[in-house]
Amino acid sequence: VIRWYDHTDHIGYDVCADDHCQRYQGLTRAVGKTVRDAVDLTWGEVLMSCRQKDGLSEESVMEICDARFSECCGGVTEKFSVCWEDKDYNYLPALPDTPGHEAGKRPFCCTSDAKVLSQVLNDYDLATDDFYRWEVRYGRKELSAIVCRRSGVDVGLVNALVPVERGESGRIWKLGIIGSKMELVIGKELEIRRVLSESHLKSSAFEVEYLDADGNVVATGSNGSYDGGKSESGDWSEVVLHGRGWGHGVGLCQIGAAVMASEGYSYRRILEHYYPGTVCGQLSLETK
């Protein structure tokens, strides 16, 4: 069961109210004075990238970018193909969210600054303090019931969750679920987040830990490949998902961008950081 979600998942509407569209809440919540001022100051400005016209020609064309964004990348952004169609854009690579994209430095999105977060998070999200690193726990029967209900497939009692394929950010885009009745492979990242939660997991960048009835770690499932049921984790009572980030992680990281702005980076420099190789162009618009 490998699928991705795009605009065709809500035909007749441009946006929806769940994680697919950043839980859009309508114009009255989404557009305040700051947003209106930013739109006025950058009216007609678009982010553009140069691409080869076709596979045989050396001629290139400029095109408007697909400027994806998410709440918090978790420290590393992700490639487009991990989350959507099996294609990539040169301006949407997997990169460390650090100054100069240098490994080992503190990521921009690793912050607890309430003032910065208030500029990015809606009121109902401000109480969230575990977007950068988070943890979810399920009892074995609880997890099994969620998987069966959310996937629509009765896998029986879940024996193991096996990461089959990961992106460079650590996001799982293909996950093996080994049950007592059958085995299931699901993806891509949003489908994994939906199947393993009553709502949505914050991201699919997680490691798996299995605990016995006394709370002792009896197995882990951070890495490995799908092996047709040979990775059963034995007798465990609880599973812990240790996760990173909030959202798909492709393109601009909203919390990271807010931190960059607070440190004095210009909006163009922020765009260059998250969409490398792009330039800002101007469309000819007569009216607003």
Whether 53 and 141 share a structural domain: no
Partners of 219 in beta bridges: 210
* 206-229 tens-digit pLDDT: 999 999 999 999 998 755 444 444
Whether 75 and 173 share a structural domain: no
Whether 239 and 141 share a structural domain: yes
pLDDT-derived band at 125, boundaries 50, 70, 90: low
pLDDT at 127: 52
Whether 57 and 109 share a structural domain: yes
Query: Domain total for the chain?
Result: 3
246, HSE (Cβ side, Cα atoms, 13 Å)? 22
Whether 196 and 260 share a structural domain: no
pLDDT-derived band at 70, boundaries 50, 70, 90: very high
pLDDT at 234: 63
Whether 240 and 258 share a structural domain: no
pLDDT at 119: 76
Whether 184 and 265 share a structural domain: no
Q: What is the average pLDDT score of the chain?
A: 86
* 219-263 tens-digit pLDDT: 987 554 444 444 455 689 999 999 999 999 999 999 999 999 999
pLDDT at 31: 67
User: Distance between CA 174 and CA 166 in Å, rounded?
Assistant: 7
pLDDT: which is higher, 187 or 5? 187
User: Distance between CA 175 and CA 155 in Å, rounded?
Assistant: 14
pLDDT at 37: 87
Domain of 102? 42-119+252-282
Helices within 99-240 (DSSP H only): 114-118, 140-151, 189-195
pLDDT at 49: 94
Does 52 map to a domain?
yes
Least confident of 30-39, 76-85, 137-146, 254-263: 30-39
Whether 143 and 216 share a structural domain: yes
Does 287 map to a domain?
no
pLDDT at 235: 83
pLDDT at 230: 44
Does 12 map to a domain?
yes
* 144-171 tens-digit pLDDT: 999 999 999 999 999 999 999 999 999 9
Calculate mean pLDDT across residues 85-104.
Answer: 95
Contact between 93 and 84 under an 8 Å Cβ cutoff? The reply is no
pLDDT at 13: 64
Calculate mean pLDDT across residues 119-134.
Answer: 70
Calculate mean pLDDT across residues 12-36.
Answer: 65
pLDDT: which is higher, 106 or 31? 106
Does 125 map to a domain?
no
Contact between 192 and 172 under an 8 Å Cβ cutoff? The reply is yes
Whether 48 and 146 share a structural domain: no
pLDDT at 67: 95
* 265-286 tens-digit pLDDT: 999 999 999 999 999 999 876 5
Number of other CB atoms surrounding residue 274 within 10 Å: 26
Does 182 map to a domain?
yes
pLDDT at 35: 78
Contact between 115 and 285 under an 8 Å Cβ cutoff? The reply is no
Helices 267-274 and 254-262 pack at an angle, to 10 degrees, of: 140
Does 185 map to a domain?
yes
Whether 256 and 115 share a structural domain: yes
Q: Is the pLDDT of residue 55 over 70?
A: no
Q: What are phi and psi of 157, to 5 degrees?
A: -75, 125
Q: Is the pLDDT of residue 5 over 70?
A: no
